[in-house]
């Protein structure tokens, strides 16, 4: 006997039940909805907390006020804003397949989405430039990567995505030539960003492929230089004193560790964002036939890059772990216990020159 569901298909649900032009709502099982909300909400919370720790660490500890860390601070701020302003509303849209927040905020949300994601990618690009000078030209690093240079990096990282995102969305250049498709899918409760063939390529090039290509080129050069340094150290004259040789080997290990960190950052970046931007380019050429669920999967994979960044810091940067330990233990609320008296402390002395926990928490003792 046939199942009655075959003869009585479930009634179509709409985003707004009493609006004639309402979009249909995707029907999901309660279990799948709960699982999606838990997974996405967990990613949002992890992104918020992780980047908040980075922000507090660098902003609170003066020993971390360096040009490189200012770039990291700005990127963490970008990722934190993404988790607050963009990801929660994208979560509701992805799960419910409806937009409940109005047409104006739909445009603002799309602008913030493009702007913050592009800004985060630009920061990663400029951090790679900073690391290039630190590893490949360390003698001139201090004179080349100065505060004004970092300010220029930050200006470009924020201004270009802002003008690009808001100019593109509000001018609607991205839908020229795709008006018929937009009109066909237009309904109340829809908030999607459509790119025509031209802007699908241009937007992906500006936001991902240009900075991504620069990052790949820089990191390949960094790996080459680090490998060359290691070979020179291994083949160095045997007359070198033991102390100098140990210092050189320690430097080589640090460079190798830095290279591993950069490769991890680069690998995570490419794996997170490449599928989404490839989809952005190809979708207009296949008449926008990409399924909504596949689009959301690739979009959230890109969002996860902002979640992974502070995790990578926690894995590879000792200063991050030290600062997190101090925040969790509450030592950050007792500045007299962790402040240096007498001569000012350098970053390395403050975080890496500790011989014991007792020395670190000795009040009134200079670590310089």
Using H for helix, E for strand and C for coil, what is the string for the chain? Answer: CCCHHHHCCCCCEECCCCCCCECEECCCCHHHHHHHHHHHHHHHHHHHHHHHHHHHHHHHCHHHCCHHHHHHHHHHHHHHHHHHHHHHHHHHHHHHCCCCCCHHHHHHHHHHHHHHHHHHHHHHHHHHHHHHHHHHCHHHHHHHCCHHHHHHHHHHHHHHHHHHHHHHHHHCHHHCCCHHHHHHHCCECCCCCCCCHHHHHHHHHHHHHHHHHHHHHHHHHHHHHHHHHHHHHHCCCCCCCHHHHHHHHHHHHHHHHHHHHHHHHHHHHHHHHHHHHHHHHHHHHHCCCCCHHHHHHHHHHHHHHHHHHHHHHHHHCHHHHHHHHHHHHCHHHCHHHHCCCCCCCCHHHHHHCCCCHHHHCCCCCCCC
Q: Which residues of the chain have pLDDT under 50?
A: 1-4, 6, 8, 239-240, 339-368
Domains and CATH numbers, the chain: 28-333 (1.20.1070.10)
Interval 195-225: pLDDT, tens? 999 999 999 999 999 999 999 899 888 888 8
Report the pLDDT value the prediction gives residue 106, as an integer from 0 to 100. Answer: 95
Q: Give me Rg for the CA atoms of the chain.
A: 25
Tokens 């009134």 locate to 364
Query: Do residues 81 and 109 lie in contact, with contact meaning Cβ atoms separated by under 8 Å?
Result: no
Rounded to whole angstroms, the Cα distance separating 117 from 79 reads: 8
The per-residue pLDDT for 367 is: 29
User: How confident is the model at residue 235, as a pLDDT?
Assistant: 58
How much is the pLDDT for 150?
A: 95
Name the pTM for this structure.
Answer: 0.82
């Amino acid at each position: 006997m046939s199942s009655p569901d075959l003869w009585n298909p479930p009634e179509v649900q709409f985003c707004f039940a009493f609006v004639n032009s309402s979009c249909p709502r995707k029907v999901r099982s309660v279990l799948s909805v709960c699982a999606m909300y838990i997974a996405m909400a967990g990613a949002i919370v992890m992104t918020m907390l992780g980047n908040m720790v980075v922000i507090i660490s660098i902003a609170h500890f003066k020993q971390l006020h360096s040009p490189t860390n200012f770039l990291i601070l700005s990127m963490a701020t970008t990722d934190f804003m993404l988790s607050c302003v963009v990801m929660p509303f994208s979560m509701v849209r992805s799960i419910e397949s409806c937009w409940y927040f109005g047409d104006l905020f739909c445009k603002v949300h799309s602008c913030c989405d493009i702007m913050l994601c592009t800004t985060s990618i630009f920061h990663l690009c400029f951090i790679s430039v900073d690391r290039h000078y630190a590893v490949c030209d360390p003698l001139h690093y201090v004179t080349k990567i100065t505060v004004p240079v970092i300010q220029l990096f930050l200006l470009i990282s924020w201004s270009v995505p802002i003008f690009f995102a808001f100019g593109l969305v509000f001018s609607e250049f991205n839908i020229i030539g795709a008006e018929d498709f937009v009109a066909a899918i237009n309904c109340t409760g829809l908030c999607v960003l459509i790119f025509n063939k031209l802007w699908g390529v241009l937007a992906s090039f500006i936001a991902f492929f240009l900075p991504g290509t620069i990052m790949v080129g820089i990191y390949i050069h960094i790996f080459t230089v680090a490998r060359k340094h290691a070979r020179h150290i291994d083949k160095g004259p045997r007359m070198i004193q033991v102390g100098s040789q140990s210092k050189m080997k320690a430097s080589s290990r640090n460079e190798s560790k830095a290279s591993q960190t950069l490769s991890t950052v680069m690998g995570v970046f490419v794996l997170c964002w490449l599928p989404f931007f490839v989809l952005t380019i190809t979708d207009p050429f296949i008449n926008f036939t990409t399924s909504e669920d596949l689009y959301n999967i690739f979009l959230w994979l890109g969002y996860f890059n902002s979640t992974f960044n502070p995790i990578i810091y926690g894995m590879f940067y000792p200063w991050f772990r030290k600062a997190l330990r101090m925040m969790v233990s509450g030592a950050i609320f007792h500045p007299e216990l962790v402040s240096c008296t007498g001569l000012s402390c350098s970053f390395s002395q403050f975080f890496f020159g500790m011989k014991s926990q007792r020395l670190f928490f000795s009040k009134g003792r200079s670590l310089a």
